[in-house]
C-alpha cells in the first residue's frame, strides 16, 4: 500500500513537472533585476524591494518606429528585463515590430516561449511549420486588429505584404524567450559548421554552402 502511494505521488510530481515546464511562477510580488549583483539565479538577482520605484516597472517610447533601413527592411524593438527591470521573474516579454513594404522577420523560433502577435497597422503574411514528421506549413494573411499565435519552439516568420508600412506587437510567454534565426544559426555560426556537413544535409554543392557562409559572415561583422 505504501509503495502504491509513493508511486502515485511520484507520478503526480512527474506530471506536474511536465505541465509547468516553462518559466516558474514567482513566489513574491516582484524581483526587480539588479544587474550590478554578481549573483545569478534563473534570471537576475533581486534588488532590495524597499528600493522599488515606478521607473523600475516603466518604459516609454514604444510609439516610436524602429529603423527599417537594413537588408530585411524590418526592425524589432524589445521590451525585456533589460528595458524594464521589474519584468524579472514575471515570465513575459513584449516586442514592437516595424516593417517597411515587403519587410521580413525571417525564419526563426523561440526555444522558451509561445508568441502572440497582434497587427496594429498594415497587412502581414505569417506562418509556422509543425515538427517532424508532418512539417505542416500553417499560414495566413493578417489585417489590422488580427491576432496570431506561434507555438513555442516552432519555426515561423512575418512579412509585410501591404503597400505601406506595417506594425505589430508580440507578447512572449517567457522573461527570456530566446531567438534563433535559422539562416544565421546554420550559415553564420561561430566557428562555421563544416561545409561538407551542410552540403550533405541540404543536398547541394559545397560551393553554394561556401557562398552562403561567406555572405552571413559579412552580415555578422557589419
User: For the chain (length 222 residues), average pLDDT per consecutive 10?
Assistant: 47 44 68 78 82 96 96 95 92 96 97 97 98 96 98 97 96 93 92 94 95 75 40
Angle at 65 between CA 138 and CA 63, to 5 degrees: 100
Residue 116 and residue 192 in one domain:
no
Residue 169 and residue 210 in one domain:
no
Q: Which three cell numbers stand for residue 88?
A: 524579472
Residues 6+ apart with CB under 8 A from 196: 206
Residue 106 and residue 193 in one domain:
no
Residue 80 and residue 156 in one domain:
yes
Q: How much is the pLDDT for 1?
A: 54
Structurally, the chain folds into a number of domains equal to 2
User: Distance between CA 189 and CA 187 in Å, rounded?
Assistant: 6
Residue 15 and residue 38 in one domain:
yes
Q: How much is the pLDDT for 107?
A: 96
| Pairing, β 93-99 against β 104-109 | unpaired
**Residue labelled with grid coordinates 524567450:** 177
Q: How much is the pLDDT for 218?
A: 55
User: Distance between CA 167 and CA 144 in Å, rounded?
Assistant: 9
Residue 22 and residue 97 in one domain:
yes
Boundaries of domain holding 166: 1-178
Amino acid at each position: 500500500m505504501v509503495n502504491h502511494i509513493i508511486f502515485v505521488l511520484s507520478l503526480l510530481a512527474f506530471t506536474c513537472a511536465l505541465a509547468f515546464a516553462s518559466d516558474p511562477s514567482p513566489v513574491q510580488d516582484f524581483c526587480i533585476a539588479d544587474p550590478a549583483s554578481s549573483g545569478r539565479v534563473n534570471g537576475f538577482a533581486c534588488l532590495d524591494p524597499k528600493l522599488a520605484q515606478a521607473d523600475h516597472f516603466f518604459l516609454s517610447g514604444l510609439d516610436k518606429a524602429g529603423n527599417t533601413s537594413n537588408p530585411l527592411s524590418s526592425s524589432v524593438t524589445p521590451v525585456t528585463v533589460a528595458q524594464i527591470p521589474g519584468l524579472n521573474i514575471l515570465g513575459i516579454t513584449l516586442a514592437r515590430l516595424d516593417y517597411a513594404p515587403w519587410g521580413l522577420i525571417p525564419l526563426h523560433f523561440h526555444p522558451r516561449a509561445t508568441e502572440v502577435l497582434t497587427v496594429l497597422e498594415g497587412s502581414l503574411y505569417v506562418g509556422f511549420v509543425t515538427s517532424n514528421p508532418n512539417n505542416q506549413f500553417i499560414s495566413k494573411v493578417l489585417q489590422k486588429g488580427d491576432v496570431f499565435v506561434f507555438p513555442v519552439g516552432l519555426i515561423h516568420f512575418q512579412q509585410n505584404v501591404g503597400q505601406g508600412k506595417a506594425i505589430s506587437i508580440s507578447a512572449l510567454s517567457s522573461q527570456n524567450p530566446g531567438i534563433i534565426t535559422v539562416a544565421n544559426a546554420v550559415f553564420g555560426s561561430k566557428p562555421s559548421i563544416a561545409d561538407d556537413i551542410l552540403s550533405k544535409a541540404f543536398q547541394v554543392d559545397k560551393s553554394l554552402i561556401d557562398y552562403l557562409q561567406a555572405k552571413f559572415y559579412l552580415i555578422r561583422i557589419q
